[in-house]
Amino acid sequence: MITARELLDEARRTLAGMAPDAERSPREADWLFASVTGMDSAAVIARPDDLISAERVDRLRSLLARRTTGEPLQYLIGDVQFWGRRFATDQRALIPRQETETLVAAALTAIPPDQPCRVAELGTGSGAVVVTIALERPRARLIATDISAEALELAQHNADAWSVLGRIEMRQGNLTEPLDAPVDVLVFNPPYVPSVALGAIQRELAYEPRQALDGGADGLDMYRRLGQTWRDVVRPGGWLFVEVGAGQHLAAAEILGASDAKLWDDYRGIVRVVGTTH
């Protein structure tokens, strides 16, 4: 048998040097340890000699081994925080990022809090965006689309977990194809990483769905495709909001025909969202 203190120390040694900064490695070890044992670091300090069962030791060591190969921490723990809420996440969909909260913030400016509004999200993935909008705007009716049936299953799970599934219709299909009537607000976080860059950035991306990341040679393929159809599915006076990669906002706005584009910066001061009206 091994004590809580011994196992936590082992976890921290295993992940030493894994994270991009010296402070994050022990935090990741602590999070994995807590997810398996139910003990946070304060509990370990209070009860360092508690014995950990062999089953939990094996489980933690397995997770640590997977983390050292680059598998994202969020997939190992099974959830992620987004807009102050926890959402289930796994390899069926892209992990929700903090910068994508900017997309939600932008969309909420066009969705009235006290009036009905028809909203659609393309490529919903985990559903974190559409579920957050549903929770922040209780009178909105929403549609979530994705080309992946597996991603829609995950989005449905998250919508059900937050008790908004009754207001979100899940539709499988590519881009705007599943939309059969105009909406007031259209939201999209497309794949925008240039194909050649995928192999040069952090190895954790290898575990996430490539189709949710690969934006073609220059990262702008999905904006070109959306530019051909978005006005067909957004009512006159309605809004389109898209997330963009760093430095892509001007090109994306031009492709979408957004001469009056509004821009939103993310928490790092990078232009992250382009919004335009029909």
What is the third-level CATH fold of 2-69?
Helicase, Ruva Protein; domain 3 (1.10.8)
Residue partners of 264: CB distance under 8 A and separation at least 6: 102, 105, 106, 271, 272, 273, 275
Written as six digits, the tokens of 178 are 């599943």
8 A C-beta contact, residue 249 and residue 106: no
Angle (CA) 209-215-218 rounded to 5° is 150
Pairing of strands 2-3, 85-88: unpaired
Quick check: helix, strand or coil at residue 115?
A: coil
Distance of alpha carbon 140 from alpha carbon 238, whole angstroms = 14
Residue partners of 66: CB distance under 8 A and separation at least 6: 76
Domain boundaries, the chain: 2-69, 84-277
Confidence (pLDDT) at 21: 55
CB atoms within 10 A of CB 245: 21
Closest by CA to 273, choosing from 103, 67, 57, is 103
Confidence (pLDDT) at 206: 82
Quick check: helix, strand or coil at residue 275?
A: strand
8 A C-beta contact, residue 140 and residue 119: yes
8 A C-beta contact, residue 271 and residue 249: yes
Per-residue pLDDT of the chain (278 residues), as tens digits, is 899 999 999 999 999 876 555 567 788 999 999 999 999 989 999 999 999 999 999 999 999 999 998 899 999 999 999 999 999 999 999 999 999 999 999 999 999 999 999 999 999 999 999 999 999 999 999 999 999 999 999 999 999 999 999 999 999 999 999 999 999 999 999 999 998 787 666 666 788 998 899 899 999 999 999 999 999 999 999 999 999 999 999 999 999 999 889 999 999 999 999 999 99
Task: Write phi, then psi, for 183 (nearest 5 degrees).
Answer: -115, 165
Confidence (pLDDT) at 96: 96
Return the residue matching tokens 């190895």: 203
Q: What pTM was computed for the model?
A: 0.91
* Distances, alpha carbon 189 to alpha carbons 29, 58, 114, 139, 200, in Å: 31, 38, 26, 23, 22
**Residue 78 — left, alpha, or beta (φ > 0 → left; ψ -120 to 50 → alpha)?**
left
- Count of residues for the chain? 278
8 A C-beta contact, residue 226 and residue 256: yes
Kindly write down the DSSP assignment for every residue of 42-62, as one continuous string. HHHHH-TTPEEPHHHHHHHHH
Angle (CA) 209-212-215 rounded to 5° is 125
Quick check: helix, strand or coil at residue 149?
A: helix
- In single-letter form, the type of residue at position 254 comes to E
Q: Which CATH architecture has domain 84-277?
A: 3-Layer(aba) Sandwich (3.40)
